[in-house]
A and B are shown apart, each in its own frame.
Chain A
C-alpha cells in the first residue's frame, strides 16, 4: 500500500440501531472473532486443548473458557467459537488434529435481546421451546427466526444472544422490533 494511506476503517451493518421498550432491550453487540469449527469425535480433546475451552459434546449446550472464549455446540461435528479478544484461528492453526476451521467473524452479526419480554419476542418467530426448563442458561441452538436461520444462546434467564448472517441482520432487527410490540410475557 502507498505510504501514508490510512487502512480502510471497519463498518457494521446495524451497529447504530437501538431498540428499547419497557421490558425489552435489543442491542447490537460489538464485533468478535468467530470460527466455524468442524471435526470428528476423536479430535475433540485435542482441539479443546488448542482452543483452551472444552468443546461441548451435549446437544444444544455451550461452554466458556477462562479467557471468555465461547464454544457453542451446533451439531455432532460442528461448533461456533466466539471470542471478543483473540482470534481462535491462530490457535487452531497450531492444532495437529484433523479439522476444518473457517473464519466467519464477518459473516455473522450478533444482537443481545434482554428483558422480561425477551423470550416472548423471540417466540414470535422461533418455534423452539425457550422455557428455561427446556432451554436453560448456556443452552444454544441453530434455529430459525421467522424466515431466517439464526443461532440462539441463552446468556441469562432473560438475556439471549442471537447470531445471524450479516445480510439477514436487517431482517432480524425488523422482525424483533416488530414482534416486540405485540409480545407479552
Chain B
C-alpha cells in the first residue's frame, strides 16, 4: 500500500511506482511523484511538527511553497541533513529520511508544550518586557535560554558535500509562473520570435490546474493541456522551460535570480549533478504570472493538525489521489471551497457541512451542494475545534447568535479567499494598490520593464485572463525585439483557446470577521511565528499604529514564510481595531528572497579552491622543491622561510638573515605590483602622482617614490625605473598593486585627461628574482650579457636592459636589504629556469634562499618602512622620516594641499623611531602601546605603538620600529611598553639599526 488514505483511481500518480521513506524512524510507502506532504497524508499522518513558541501540534496546511507549518528535517540517511524543509515542496525519493522538529522527547509527547499552558506569560512583545532585568542575567541565563529556544530545526554541522552551480543567462522575455496565464504568455512571446525562459517552482507546469480539474482548454483537461503546451514549448529553440525553479529575487534592471532544484528529488544523484543551480537572468522584459495563494480562515483552534486550505485538499485529491480525511468539514468565505468540497464528496468522502461566513451564496453552488446532500450553513461561523494531535470536531453557530452545533470530523478545509502573489512585483520596487471592491492589494504601475498578468494581477475571469496573457506575451516579445533589432514586426494573432472554467474564486474575508468569533481560544494568524489574533489586538492596545510597528511587536509575517498566508489577516485585524481603512494601516514591503534559499546555491562555485583565487609565482615549484613554508599575502602564496632539516622558524630566519649579509640570498619578488607607464607625458604624470620629481631622472636610473592620497597621508611606495624617456617601470607593494593602478587611472581619467600617457599592469609579465648580499654581483655575473654590472657602470638605483641566462631581462640595481642588490626581471615563463640557474651558482657560493620573514627583518634593520605595517593611513612622509622624498619646488601633486593642513604640520605628531629593548633580549609585540610614565593609573596616556618588531641576528638583539609622539625629539629617552605580565623599558633610537653609514649598499 502507498498509504491508507490513497483513493484508487484518483490522482495522476502511477500506483505501481512506489518508493520507500521514513518519518521519525517509521518506514512508509509513497508513490513516485509524491511530495513529502502528500506521502504523509496518504499514510494518514497530519501531525508533522510542533509550533515555534507554544509547541502546539501542527500539521500540513497547504500544498505549496507557502507552507508555514510542515517544516521537516530531511536527509538521504548520511551525515548531512537539511532542516526546515517544507513538506509540500520536497518530493519523496527512495530512501528519504524525514524527521519532525521542535519537539522533545517525541512528536506526540513534547515537554515544550507546557508553553501552551503558560501562554498568558508569553504575550506578544514579552521579549521586550521580560528580559529587561537584572542585567547580569542576560549573559548567564536569558541569552542561553533564548538561543536554545530560538528557531526551528537544527543547523547541520558537517561541511556541505553537495555541488552547486551557477548560470548567467540573458533572454528577451522571462515568464515567471507556468499556470494558464504564464503558459499562454510564454507561447505568445515564443511565437513572436522572442527568446523565452519560462520558470515554475513546481515539479510540473500547470499552477492552479494541478487542483482545478474542472477547467477544460481546447477540449482537454487543463493539467493535460498544460503539460502538452510546455512540452511543445520545450521543443522550440527559443524557449527554455525550467520547472522546480523558483524566482526568488527581482532586482534592478530586470535581473531576476532563480534557484533550480536539480537533484533534490533524485534518490541517487549522479556524482557531478549539482544539488541546486542558481540562474541569474537578465531579461529585457519580465512577465510575472505568479498566481494567488489561498488564505485560511481565522477562528479559535484553527491550527490543529487536520485543518487545511481547501485548495490544498483539492490538490492532494486530484493530483496525488490522497484524501485528507474521511469526514471533512468546510469553513469558507469564498466560492472555491465549494469546488473542493464537491471534488471530495464525488470521491466518496463524507462532507459534513459547509459553514459559510457569508450571509448568502450563489444559488448554483447551493444546488450543487444539495445534489450531493451537503448541508450549507450560510451566515455561520466556526467557534471552535476539538482534538489535540488531530482535529476531532468542530463547533459552529449563526453569526447573529444562536445555538451551537457540533460535528465529529477528522479534517477541516477552509478558505477565506485568494491573495494575489505580488511579492516579485513588490521586490521590483512596484507599489501595490488596494482594490476595495475585491478586498485585495493588486500590482500598481510597473517600475521596470515588466508586467503582471493573471491571478497575481487580479484577473479572475478565464477569457479575460487568457487575452491578457497572450497580449502580454506578444507585447513583451515586440518590446524586447525592438530593443535589439531596433525594429519590431507584427506577428499573426493567436486565437484564444477554447476555455471552460467552473471554479469560482468569488468572495473574500480578511481577518476573523468578528471579534465574537475569537472568544473560544487561540485563533492563529501567523502559524509559523505563533501569532494569534489577540496578539495583534494587544499590539494595537499597546499603542502600535503602523503595520510596520505591529509586525515587529508581534513578529507576524516575520517568519521564513514571510506571512504568505497571514499578512492580510493581521493587517485587517489591526485595521478593524484602529477603525481605519486597510490601506491606511499599510502593507509591509516584500523582501528577497521569495522563499528560503540555501547558502550553497548563493555561493555556488565559489567554495574551496574557488572561494578566492590563489596566485602563485612562476618560481612556486622551485620554492616547494626547496622546502619553503608559504605565507598568504593577499591572494599570493609567498615563500615565508626555507627551513632546513631540524630548523624551526626562528632558526631558519636567523640563518637566512645572517647568510644574506655575509654571503648573499635569493628572494622571489615577483608579487610586487608592476605598472608600465608609457607616453610622451609619462614623467609629467608621475610628477603629479608621486611626491618627488621625475623630470630629471635619466633613462637607466631609478628612484624611490612615495604616493599620497589627497589628504596627504602615505598611500603606497615603491621604486620606479626610467626605461626610456617615455617609459617608466613602476613597482608597488604586493598588496597595493590593484589599488595603485586604480588610483593612478582614476587621476589620469578625471584630473589629467589631457596627458598623453597610458598605464598597463605588468605584474604577471615579469618574474622577479632579487639577489642580495655582498656576493650578489658574483652570483649573477656569469649569466648577464650586454650589461656592464660593475659598481661604477651600474651604481645603486639603476636599471639596464640586456640578457640574463640568455633571456631578455630588465636588470635593476636596487636593494631592500641594505646590501648590494640586483633584481632580475625576466618574462614569467622563464622565471623558474632562471631561478634554478641562479640558485645552482648561489648555493655553490654559500648563499641561501630567503623568504618574506627574512626580508622583513633585513629591511627593518635598515629602517625601511612597509606601507600598511609601519603606516596606517594616518602617517605623512614627514612622520615616517621620509620628508626628503617630498619635492619642495613642485607646485602640484596629489596630496600637496593635504600636507599643508594645520594638523599635518602641527607639533606633536607621531613619528617613526626605532626602539631598543633595555633588557637586550625581549622582542616587543607588534601593536603594543607605548607610555612615558609606567606608574600612571589606568587609563594611561598612550603616546604611540610598536609597528614592527623582530629578533635581529645581525644586530644580536631585538629591534623594533614604532610610531611615537614627537618621536625624533625623544631619541635617547626611555619609554615603557606595558604588557600583561610585565612593563618593558625601551630606549628610543634612530630607525636604522645596521650599517648606519649605508656603505654596504654601494658595494
- A-side residues, CB < 8 A to B, are 1-2, 5-13, 31, 36, 38, 40, 77, 98, 100-108, 120, 123-129, 131, 133-134, 146-148, 165-168, 170-171, 174-175, 178-179, 181-183
Contact = CB atoms under 8 A, between A and B. Distances in A.
27 contacts: A1-B784, A5-B782, A8-B806, A11-B618, A31-B829, A38-B678, A40-B756, A100-B757, A100-B760, A102-B678, A104-B762, A106-B765, A108-B764, A124-B166, A125-B168, A127-B282, A129-B170, A134-B170, A146-B606, A147-B606, A165-B763, A166-B764, A167-B617, A167-B636, A171-B609, A171-B614, A179-B165
A107 B764 contact: yes
B615 A8 contact: no
Nearest to A12: B829
Contacts of A146: 605-606, 610
A171 B606 CA distance: 11
A125 B167 CA distance: 7
B616 interface: yes
Nearest to A122: B168
Contacts of B468: none
Contacts, number: 156
Given A10-B833, A13-B618, A178-B610, A165 B764 contact: yes
B380 interface: no
Contacts of B763: 107, 165
B762 A107 contact: yes
B765 A103 contact: yes
Given A103-B827, A123-B167, A127-B168, 6 more contacts: A5-B782, A10-B830, A11-B618, A107-B762, A167-B617, A175-B605
Pick the most buried of B764, B805, B806, B832: most chain A CB atoms within 10 A of its CB: B764
Contacts of B829: 10-13, 31, 106
Interface string B181-213: 000000000000001000000000000000000
Interface stretch (B270-278, B438-446, B696-704): B270-278
Nearest to A126: B168
B823 to A, nearest CB: 16
A40 B807 CA distance: 33
A125 to B, nearest CB: 7
B805 A131 contact: no
Contacts of A98: 679-680, 756
B974 interface: no
Contacts of A1: 782-785, 803, 805-806
Contacts of B140: none
Contact of B168 (A77, A101, A123): A123
B889 interface: no
B273 A182 contact: yes
A182 B263 CA distance: 12
Contacts of A106: 764-766, 827-830
A57 to B, nearest CB: 17
A64 B465 CA distance: 53
Contacts of B678: 38, 100-102
A182 B163 contact: yes
B282 A129 contact: yes
B500 interface: no
Contacts of B676: 100, 102
A40 to B, nearest CB: 8
B750 to A, nearest CB: 16
Among all A-B residue pairs, the 6 with the closest Cβ atoms: A7-B806, A182-B165, A38-B758, A100-B678, A167-B615, A100-B758
Given A127-B168, A146-B606, A8 B613 contact: no
B195 A104 contact: no
Given A98-B679, A107-B764, A133-B484, A124 B165 contact: yes
Nearest to A181: B272
Nearest to B273: A182
A11 B829 CA distance: 5
B277 A11 contact: no
A131 B605 contact: no
B760 A178 contact: no
A7 B805 contact: yes
Given A100-B757, A107-B765, A127 B280 contact: yes
Contact of B828 (A6, A7, A131, A166): A166
Interface in B804-839: 805-807, 826-834, 836-837
B982 interface: no
A98 to B, nearest CB: 6
Nearest to B272: A181
A168 B759 CA distance: 20
B606 A11 contact: no
A5 B761 CA distance: 33
Interface residues of B, number: 60
Nearest to B607: A178
A110 B117 CA distance: 70
Contacts of B783: 1-2, 5
B169 interface: yes
A179 B282 CA distance: 20
A180 B826 CA distance: 35
B618 A179 contact: no
Interface in B152-185: 163, 165-170
Interface in B320-343: none
A133 B831 CA distance: 42
Contacts of B282: 127, 129
B486 to A, nearest CB: 13
A120 B832 contact: no
B612 interface: yes
Contact of B605 (A11, A12, A178): A178
A12 B767 CA distance: 13
Interface string B267-303: 0000011100100101000000000000000000000
A40 B680 CA distance: 13
A133 B196 CA distance: 14
Nearest to A9: B833
A1 B636 CA distance: 32
A46 B678 CA distance: 18
A124 B833 contact: no
Nearest to B485: A133
Pick the most buried of B170, B612, B763: most chain A CB atoms within 10 A of its CB: B170
Given A1-B803, A148-B613, A125 B605 contact: yes
A23 to B, nearest CB: 13
Contacts of A120: 167
A174 B610 contact: yes
Contacts of B761: 107
Contact of B764 (A38, A167, A175): A167
A96 to B, nearest CB: 12
A102 B762 contact: yes
Nearest to B806: A7
Pick the most buried of B617, B830, B834: most chain A CB atoms within 10 A of its CB: B830
Contact of A182 (B277, B764, B831, B834): B277
Contacts of B758: 38, 77, 100
A107 B167 contact: no
A10 B833 CA distance: 7
A8 B830 contact: yes
Nearest to B756: A98
A60 B184 CA distance: 37
A167 B636 CA distance: 9
A8 B484 CA distance: 53
Pick the most buried of B606, B760, B763: most chain A CB atoms within 10 A of its CB: B760
B166 A104 contact: no
A140 B834 CA distance: 35
Interface in B827-854: 827-834, 836-837
A129 B172 CA distance: 11
A174 B615 CA distance: 13
B277 A107 contact: no
Interface in B751-787: 756-758, 760-766, 782-785
B782 A2 contact: yes
A128 B829 CA distance: 31
A47 B630 CA distance: 45
Given A1-B784, A1-B806, A182-B163, A166 B613 contact: no
